[in-house]
């Protein structure tokens, strides 16, 4: 059985910190949260192919929860960790 989560797409009008908590929860529930730590922290038991698939799923999950305006700012990021860090950094600066 699959659960459906309703997360408001992040745009600059809503609280980034609340959205980030909700997004982490969704990634955790779907077994994708470890992608946020980056490939350097890939579990030894995981193959490169498994990691790439996990990262791609996490990246697309995050991208689908961003408004078009926000996505435009991070469209060149190719990893979940890269997108997460880039946008987290741009919000805090």
Q: Is residue 87 part of a domain?
A: yes
Range of 68's domain? 49-93
Structural domain total, the chain = 1
Distance spanning both ends of the chain, measured CA to CA:
41
- Residue 93, pLDDT score: 52
- Residue 1, pLDDT score: 46
Q: Is residue 65 part of a domain?
A: yes
Tokens standing for 51? 């990691």
Q: Is residue 43 part of a domain?
A: no
Positions in the chain short of pLDDT 50: 1
Q: Is residue 40 part of a domain?
A: no
Number of other residues whose CB lies within 10 A of the CB of residue 5: 11
Phi, psi at residue 66, to the nearest 5°?
-115, 145
Q: Tell me how far apart the alpha carbons of residues 39 and 81 are, in angstroms, rounded to a whole number.
A: 8
DSSP 79: S
CB 58 within 8 A of CB 32: yes
What's the predicted TM-score (pTM) here? 0.89
């Amino acid at each position: 059985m699959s659960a459906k989560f309703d997360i408001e797409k992040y745009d600059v009008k809503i609280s980034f910190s609340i959205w980030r908590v909700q997004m982490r929860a969704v990634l955790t529930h779907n077994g994708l949260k470890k992608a946020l730590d980056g490939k350097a922290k890939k579990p030894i038991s995981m193959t490169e192919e498994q990691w790439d698939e996990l990262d791609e799923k996490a990246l697309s999950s995050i991208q689908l929860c961003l408004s078009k305006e926000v996505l435009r700012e991070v469209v060149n990021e190719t990893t979940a960790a890269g997108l997460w860090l880039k946008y987290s950094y741009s919000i805090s600066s």
